[in-house]
Amino acid sequence: MKQENESDFKDEEYTHNSRHIGKGRSHHRGGAKTFRRRRALSFLEMMKVKRATIKQQLEEPEFQSINQILIGELKAIDMVISEFIQLFEIHEDEVKENIEIKKNGESLEKSNEGEEYE
């Protein structure tokens, strides 16, 4: 029984400050703060995509009947984006960097998919 516990202990991982992170798990390189920051940047990117969609709908003739509603939504989403950027003190270079990180991550995932089946 004692040998079993020792081998389990060897399989467990600990961070540099001896905090337990579990068997077979790895911690994020930048830590929790960086992870949360990236999630905030991803949310901002999603809001900008929604804004672009609404803006596109404003220009299409089939949406003319709800034109005033779309204008209201556009103003509201602009306000949310503006407040979000101000609250999280987000700079444009961070947004660009986050997009690059996502692109690199997706290309790595695609290249790894082919390796699994070879």
Distance between CA 57 and CA 79 in Å, rounded?
A: 19
What is the chain's mean pLDDT, rounded? 77
Percent of the chain with pLDDT over 70: 64
Detail the DSSP E strand segments found in the chain.
12-14, 20-23
In this predicted structure, what is the pLDDT of residue 81?
96
Record the tokens describing residue 4, joined without a space: 């079993």
The Cα 41–Cα 44 span in angstroms is 5
For residue 14, report the phi and psi dihedrals to the nearest 5 degrees.
-130, 145
User: What ranges do the domains of the chain cover?
Assistant: 30-116
Q: Is the pLDDT of residue 13 over 70?
A: no
User: Is residue 70's pLDDT more than 90?
Assistant: yes
Residues 19-33 pLDDT 10s: 544 554 444 466 888
Average pLDDT over residues 84-109: 82
The set of residues, in sequence order, having a beta carbon less than 8 Å from that of 22 and lying 6+ positions away, is 12, 13
What phi and psi values does residue 12 have, to the nearest 5 degrees?
Answer: -75, 150
The pLDDT of residue 96? 78
Q: What is the pLDDT of residue 34?
A: 85
pLDDT of residue 29: 60
pLDDT at 12: 46
